Amino acid sequence: MASNGSNGVSNGSHIMSIEDFILELGAVEAVKFGSFKLKSGLQSPVYFDLRVLVSYPKLLFTCAKLLLQAKSGSLMCGVPYTALPIATIMAVEVGAAMVVRRKEAKDYGTKKMVEGVWSEGQNCLVVEDVVTTGGSVADTAKLLREHGMTVTDCVVLLDREQGATASLANKGVTVHSVVTVSKVLEVLTYHKKITVEMADKVRDFLSNNQTVTAEPILPSLQERIQLATNSVTKRVFQIMMEKESNLCVAVDSKTAGEVLSVIEKVGPHVAIVKLHQDVVTDWTHETEKQLMTMGSKYNFLLFEDRKLADIGNTVRLQAERVVGWADLVTVHGVGGPGVLEGVMSAAKGKGRDVGSLIVAEMSSAGNLAKGEYTAGCVAMGEGRKDAVAGFISQSRLSKDYGLVQMTPGVNLVVAGDGGDQRYVTPNQAVMMRGADIVIVGRGVTGEEDQGAAAAMYKEEAWNTYKQKCCQ
């Protein structure tokens, strides 16, 4: 049995070990044994009430120091409400900044959901007292990410060992815990604070009540082909499976020759190639024929990032310029369902199947694609799976796995481009943002060996995707 010493924290002149800390938690009834109804409705033989720590300042300070030993950061956010005073002490102790998450927005003043000051892309450490399912941490991480912060880690005082660590890992959050229920039971049993029978009862309860509330493992690509309604979406999943690639390279060159040259190099590695026809100064019908030939040769789809957003008839006229060669085209949801009708009408006139991608979220700083607008885009896409292939987004917005999520702003190296573009790595895009397809631009096209760069991105993105996808 470990005793006072190396695994401890200074509390004034006293060195408090994890063992002593657990005993103190028991002494102030922050941990209770008996029969307790949980929020889930289950009757639990153990209950952790760390809210009482605010009445014991020395113990509260010890708690903060132990959490800092497990993980620290330059920006912190305590999960409301128990972790707020703990996070405050942690931040003051190391000179870190804090942001405060509200559970509900005020109906006056700024109506902010997150208070404080932070920089775009800054990493924020989430602080929590107890995790069971990880739901509160996941909600906090999602909100902070929506406000431009990066969240990769959570530090928690006590892990109930019921699935939170695995759940949060699936959402791109690594849990660093000070103690676990197993350790609490070990210490309290050793010191005869609880009986062996009670400890076994708690272990049985935890073993029989595992819960994972994070995003479930993705269905297999074969299953998603069956779930998809739009024929182009089916082809996306089919190509991903055949090429073992979830990479889309954005080729934004200004001449047709440059575009075709880049695609010849990256074609073997990609599932999709993204283009901006209107920036190519010498675009011709011959360019379109060559693109389609390359798509057939290397088995990838062509994606025109036109972002159509007008009344249906105008969209139909605009779409006629791209649906003859593009398999996918982006639309904004602001115009409503008429935008989808315009694309479908244009594609039908060309005798082609084309899938619309609704831009529900964007990777540029300060963009307005959020909140009610994003929710409206998701509802529109889920309601028109015949016309919609999926979403362009920065997070997993829909649980309908018959729709594809494509996430732009992916780069292995930099946090931004010096302008308004914000980047995440392929791993973050898939694990944290829920991407099926990662969209990489300058990370590939800006390299001298574009083929090698594409292969590198393909490997990282696909290996990460395989961790989430049923085989």
Main-chain dihedrals φ then ψ at residue 267, nearest 5 degrees: -50, -45
d(CA 2, CA 127) in angstroms, rounded, equals 26
Active site residue 307: yes
CB 386 within 8 A of CB 403: no
Q: What is the Cα Rg of the chain in Å?
A: 26
| Residue of 23, 129, 8 lying closest to 65 (CA atoms) | 8
Query: Cα torsion for 122, 366, 102, 128, to the nearest 10°?
Result: -20
Kindly list the distances between the CA atom of residue 39 and the CA atoms of 44, 78, 370, in Å, as whole numbers in the listed order. 10, 20, 30
Q: Which runs of E-coded beta strand occur in 309-378?
A: 328-332, 355-359
Q: Which of 142, 201, 307, 350 is catalytic?
A: 307
Classify burial at 63, counting beta carbons within 10 Å of its beta carbon; exposed 0-12, middle 13-18, buried 19 or more. buried
| Residue of 371, 398, 385, 304 lying closest to 337 (CA atoms) | 385
d(CA 248, CA 254) in angstroms, rounded, equals 19
Catalytic residue annotation: 307
